[in-house]
Chains A and B, each alone.
Chain A
Amino acid sequence: MKVDARHAAGAARRGPRGRTPVPAGILVPIARSFVPGAIALLTCVLAIPARAQSEPPAAEGAAAAPRIEELNGRVESMTEQMQTLQADTDKLKRLKLSGYIQARWETAENKNDSVKVEKSPAVITPANTERFSIRRGRLKLTYDSSPLSQAVVYLDGSTSGSAITMRLLEAYVTLLDPWTFDRRHQLTVGQMNVPFGYEIERSSSVRELPERSRAENILFPGERDRGIKLVSLWTPRLETVIALFNGGGINDPNFPTTDPTRGKDYLARARWSEGVFDAAVSWYGGRALTALTGPDVSTDRTRFGADVQVYYALPVVGGGSLKGELYRGRNLNVDSVKTLVASPTTANPVTLLKPGAVGAHLATEVLGWYAMWVQNLGERFQLAARWESFDPNTDLARDQFERASLAIHWFYDGYTRFTVAYDVPRTEVAAAAGSGFTDPTDNLWTVQLQHKF
């Protein structure tokens, strides 16, 4: 017979009818603080019966009274100190520190020992695709100031971008409504995730594949923006979100901190949850600006999204799910900009639309989707497979991106998971006339160790 040692001991001391429980954890530091006091107290308690044996009852009472009074004083003093400590502990408990680290090794088929040199003065870009990196190093501070307000600061340090820096990922204040029983309406202001779609809002620490779909990466680069959102839970099943954002996201190379368009981008989302079946639709509308020498070009930035998830459980094997998401809309197309806008040269240092080009054509209709299957294998393994497609211009053939991704996770403990993933992308790249398109040899292995705290 085996019972956890700490609690087996506790069981001997406590019982349902008022036997004192072991005040685990919290009282440990307090107990340490009072060890000298407790020893003194014990000495006094032991001293009392010893003296009582040698004195008559009346004298015993008279002698013990001041001692008992002294002990009462000490107990009162300890109680006051405990209350002070508890008040301090309660304040600290409002601060939550969480985060995760993803240490990664990647190797792609197109790895080599070369670097790329471009432009003048020379810009040297490492071309080799085999490397160790810190994909995400996230630190989140949440302070629950009161039951009605909360502040969050979320930082990221990684070596995946062009620099090794700590950057502000999110910073926002949330107000919870005081009118409803379970705070069903929450207003958030600041820099936050754009609440469009299923995969955007899922933390990378729980996602089943190392990266989000290409459609999401193109349509919502960085996943975050500055603005305001109202989340309302109308019933346990129905949740709505309405929001206003600057629109450019936090990774816009031209306007990283400003909003070049007067109007704000707007978003609406509704989600229905049945537990084993969730579905949602999202709408996003706004304008994107292309800065030119002369009149700028403003184009539509619209997205429609729909997502669905179905969950099931297989006996013995474990839970599984099927997930799908669709993105449709109009987006500024990088290739169109390259084609229709004349880049500045030394002789003609202006950025203008090429003669005959139409500004509205800088944006194109896009279509993206993915379908994913996730299967838990027992308690510690999980298998995930995804097929995705993204067409950056539905009017143009041979520009699609498709990718098959496979991953297996091993959960080492409750906080650490080891991932091996394999991506098989098919990128249609315009080739020499007559040969159609080519697909670069760029399949990718990713091995990742993640620890979440």
Chain B
Amino acid sequence: MRTMDLRLRPRTALAAAVVLIAAALLAAAVPAAWSARGLTVKGSDTMVILGQRWAELYMTSHPGAIIQVTGGGSGTGIAALINGTTDICQSSRPMKEDEKRKLRDRFQTMGIEIPVAKDGLSIYLHESNPVKELTIAQARDIYTGAVTNWKQVGGGDVLITLYGRENSSGTYVYFKDNVLLGRDYSARVQTLPGTAAVVNAVARDPNGIGFGGAAYAKGVRDCAIRKEAASAPVLPMPQTVQDGSYPITRYLYFYTRVRPSGDLKKFVDWVLSADGQAVVTKVGYFPVR
């Protein structure tokens, strides 16, 4: 085995050492300077109100704490987590494998997943729609375009107007994966920028159908869902979501790059505390603890 002669000349070695030591010192000093800007929370539109309520209450009870909350969709939040522009990503779906790989490429970590609330995904109908319930298969057929007329599922003889979310939305991905079983949305789906926009559209359109967080259903009617044709129809109520009898339920997550520490840990711990979980209930979701 040969020995290595690095031929590192004294001046070069000194310069290299100076640069690396300076860099290491900066590495130690700069994060503290950056932390002064506070915590940033970004991601799911479904969770943006929840995040804001948490931030407001936390900052009230922890003077000096600064938390900035923005939406944009789960995909946007995960991208921000990967490129380092947010401390916490709020997501209404789990991270995908390729997203975990991108995070690993930059930060050498797989990310930390923290379920912070539970949500029922409601299917909204217009108040006047005679259809009261659908099976998951019928909902799938409607959103994939196999069923286009309300008559085919027990309603009037009118075309169904489909409302949905943009593909950066975690709700879009969750609905596609769990209700459409990965199939593509019908090209007739009108995509809207937020759950409340979907609710508003359905509230105005007697032939409309939409989907989104159960907490948002105002001015529209929740559709009862049957898991199978023979199953009993279940409405997205607090009890049915929490006990799992409502078939379209999901967790809402916080994602961080590494295991939370310092201010980040304090905030996450508070969110999971009784005070934080009380906010979940007030906003209309369901606590995980």
A1-58 at interface with B (beta carbon < 8 Å): 1-4, 6-8, 10-11, 14-21, 23-27
Q: Within 8 Å CB of A381, what residues of B?
A: 23-24, 26-27, 30
A422 to B192, CA, bound (A): 51
Nearest Cβ on chain A to B26's Cβ, whole angstroms: 7
Task: Tell me the count of chain A residues lying within 8 A, CB to CB, of chain B.
Answer: 70
From A3, A11, A276, A406, give the contact of B68 (CB < 8 A). Answer: A3
- Do A379 and B31 form a contact, CB below 8 Å, given A8-B52, A16-B216? yes
Instruction: From A7, A10, A276, name the one whose CB has the most chain B CB atoms within 10 angstroms.
Output: A7
Report the minimum CB–CB distance from A140 to chain B (whole Å): 15
Chain B residues with Cβ below 8 Å from A311 are: 104, 108-110
> Does B70 lie within 8 Å of A7, measured CB to CB?
yes
**B residues less than 8 Å from A11 (CB atoms):** 49, 52
Which residue of chain A lies nearest to B20 when distances are taken between CB atoms in the complex?
A: A408
A18 touches B199 (CB 8 A): yes
**Contact of B7 with A439 in the complex, beta carbons under 8 Å:** yes
* B231 part of interface (Cβ distance < 8 Å): no
Q: Is the CB of B67 within 8 A of A3?
A: yes
Q: Is the CB of B12 within 8 A of A443?
A: yes
Contact A408 B23 (CB under 8 A): yes
Q: Is the CB of B27 within 8 A of A377?
A: yes
The number of chain B residues touching the other chain, given as a range, is 35 or more
A193 to B215, CA, bound (A): 47
Instruction: Kindly list chain A residues whose C-beta atoms are within 8 Å of the C-beta of B71.
Output: 7, 24
Would you call B107 and A318 a contact (CB within 8 A)? yes
Assess whether B182 is interfacial by the CB under 8 Å rule: yes
Bound CA span A321–B104, Å: 9
Contact call B24/A377, Cβ cutoff below 8 A: yes
A2 to B59, CA, bound (A): 8
Considering the complex, give the chain A residue whose CB is closest to the CB of B80: A414
Are A415 and B34 in touch, CB under 8 angstroms? Answer: no
A24 to B104, CA, bound (A): 30
List A residues at the B interface (Cβ < 8 Å): 1-4, 6-8, 10-11, 14-21, 23-27, 83, 86, 90, 109, 147, 180-182, 202, 206, 236, 275-276, 311-313, 315-316, 318-321, 374-381, 383, 400, 402, 404, 406, 408, 410-411, 413-415, 420, 422, 424, 426, 439, 441, 443
The chain B residues found within 8 Å of chain A, CB to CB, are 2, 4-9, 12, 16, 19-20, 23-24, 26-28, 30-31, 34, 38, 45, 48-50, 52, 55-56, 59-60, 66-72, 80, 83-85, 97, 100, 104-110, 166, 181-182, 184, 190-197, 199-200, 203, 213, 215-220, 257-259, 261, 283-284
